Amino acid sequence: MRLAGVDLSAKESRPSGIAWLDEGEVFVKEAFSNEEIVDLLMEVSPRVVAIDAPLSLPLGRCCLRKECNCERIGGMRWIEREMISRGYRVFPVTFKWMRNLTERGISLKKNLEKRGIEVIEVHPGTSRKILGPLWELLPKINLRIQKKDLSRDEEDAVYSAITAFMYFLGEFETLGREDEGLIVLPLPIRK
Ligand SMILES: [Zn+2]
């Protein structure tokens, strides 16, 4: 049984980090195009993919085009409101590169769901705050990683995959609303 995380970049020209857990081992790779990302994930064939990108639009929005009538609704979902009220730092889906990232995330989610893979939205920066530094965390949850010196993107992918793992274990909570979109946050590790 495998679980995966994707630190999605806003553009195909920038690398996206992909991490997966397989029998207690953490693997990390980079991929660029949507096709490359989907191909790699299909090869890994995870039970759940956690994506670090908004995977839904604010209720009432039909798109993220600035010239559309729905632009007046703005870029805040319940997820962003609740994350901010808890003191976490997140951007509205209309903030600069977030428009591209959100569109890319939504299309990747659709693509994977069509292939029978469960997809969840995560925020690895927040997962890191909840779970603590990687080198302390991994032994606590019985995971090993070969690769040293992870880039920030790779580390975000690893925290995304770990959030999928916590979700699978039932050690999570969600923020947001069912009819708009939910984000999965891990619960702190129990001593
Ligand atoms: Zn629209």
- Residue 70 is part of a domain; what is its CATH number? 3.30.420
Residues 85 and 171: their CA atoms lie apart, in Å, by 22
Q: What is the pLDDT of residue 190?
A: 85
Q: What are phi and psi of 98, to 5 degrees?
A: -65, -30
pTM for the complete prediction? Answer: 0.97
- Tens of pLDDT along the chain (191 residues) come to 899 999 999 999 999 999 999 999 999 999 999 999 999 999 999 999 999 999 999 999 999 999 999 999 999 999 999 999 999 999 999 999 999 999 999 999 999 999 999 999 999 999 999 999 999 999 999 999 999 889 999 999 999 999 999 999 999 999 999 999 999 999 999 87
Residue 145 lies in a domain: yes
| 57 C-alpha to ligand 1 centroid (Å) | 10
In a domain, 31, yes or no: yes
Asked whether residue 191 is assigned to any structural domain, the reply reads no
- Residue 116 inside a domain? The answer is yes
Tokens of 63: 């798109």
Please report whether residue 47 resides in a domain.
yes
Other beta carbons within 10 angstroms of residue 11's beta carbon come to 13
| CB atoms closer than 10 angstroms to residue 184 | 21
Residue 106 belongs to a domain: yes
Ligand 1 mean position to 73 CA, how many Å?
A: 9
The three-state (H, E, C) secondary structure of 60-108, written as one string: CCCCCCCCCHHHHHCCCCHHHHHHHHCCCCCCCCCCCCHHHHHHHHHHH
In the structure, ligand 1 is a single-atom ion and the residues with CB under 5 Å from it are 62-63, 68, 70
Could you say which DSSP state residue 187 is in? P
The parent domain of residue 102 ranges over: 2-186
Amino acid at 163: T
Answer yes or no: is 52 within a domain. Answer: yes
- Residue 61 Cα, ligand 1 centroid: separation in angstroms? 5
- Looking at the structure of the chain, the number of domains it has is 1
Q: How many whole angstroms from its chain centre is CA 166?
A: 13
